[in-house]
Amino acid sequence: MRTVVCAVLLLVSGCGATVAPDTSASDPVTVTNCGRQVTFDKIPSKVVTNDTGITELMFALGLKDRMAGYVVSGVDTVDVRTSPWKADFESVKHLSDKVSKEVVQGVNADLVFAGWNYGFSESTGFTPDALKALGIGTYQLTEACRNGVGKQRGIMPALDALYTDLRNLGKIFRVEAKAEELVKTYQEQIARAGRLMEGKPRPKVFLYDSGQDQPFTSGKNAAPQDVISKAGGDNIFGDLNDSWTTVNWETVVQRDPEVVLIVDYADGEANTPAQKQAFLEGFAPLSNSPAVKGKRFFSLPYAALVESPRNAASIEAFAKFLAGV
């Protein structure tokens, strides 16, 4: 069986270091976030983050001391267990499994870092406007910015979104040098990974998150698009102007995937990559696809496939799999 699970993604930069901000810079800072100009009069000191990848952005920048805590769905998950910042997750307070006004007010948060469908939602009333009315600032994850077409998300390529957020956070927290160091490191790592598949055929890749009646996958605006393409493959749903989205099995079958990239996290329906693979192998309409016939499955943790500091390492790991290294 040629299933490969990449359990630990180590970055080439140091993990868990705390970076001292330039507190001498007292002037307000304005950044562009999801198309809006947002001004910060001072460095936030009680930040609440929602979701693993968002929290890891703070950790990668050395900003754990600026956090009041984080919200993730459990601390004993594959995401946290495989995180290069596991020690930071252990030292910063886990506030709740689900974000809410009560959670952030309970720690006197001065900034909430989340995204649409990554915490912010009209259905729960937890929105940037609602928090502004409470005197709490917000920063939105760029990968999850709405693009003006209904509730579709994504306004730029996923890696550009990552670099934008790192640079914006660098300005907000006065750690711009660290942000630029990370961007350079990731760009170099991705360039090295890209060379592994040079001159080789680009396989068609199906990103399988979850769903048995209808599959949940990635369009062109979510991180898997760049993870797949920079590693040397082609996302079969790279033509969809959306980030994470639901499609139908008929289209998956028609597009005849040669590789399946599985998201490793508990989805409440089929928890493990092995269970998801077993479902796909037993799904008759896909039985003749090159991916299933060749048992070409690869798995990465959820936090490696949303915008996060793990993206570069994810690209390298997937490129090695595609290249047979």
Superfamily of domain 29-190 in the CATH hierarchy: Nitrogenase molybdenum iron protein domain (3.40.50.1980)
Please give the model's pTM, rounded to 2 decimal places.
0.90
pLDDT at position 209 over 80: yes
Q: Is 199-323 the same fold as 29-190? A: yes
Domain boundaries, the chain: 29-190, 199-323
What mean pLDDT comes out for the span 132-151?
93
Rounded to an integer, the average pLDDT of 18-36 is 76
Query: Of 22-26, 221-225, 246-250, where does mean pLDDT reach its minimum?
Result: 22-26
CATH superfamily of the 199-323 domain: Nitrogenase molybdenum iron protein domain (3.40.50.1980)
Q: Which residues pair with 126 in a beta bridge?
A: 121
Rounded (5°) CA angle 67-13-304: 70
- What's the DSSP call for residue 237? T
Please list, in sequence order, all residues whose beta carbon lies within 8 angstroms of the beta carbon of residue 278, skipping any fewer than 6 positions away.
Answer: none
Of the two residues 23 and 228, the one the predictor is more confident about is 228
- Whole-angstrom CA distances from 163 to 93, 171, 206, 243 are 26, 12, 25, 17
What are the tens digits of pLDDT across the range 277-321? 999 999 999 999 999 999 999 999 999 999 999 999 999 999 999
pLDDT tens for 75-103 read 888 899 999 999 999 999 999 999 999 99
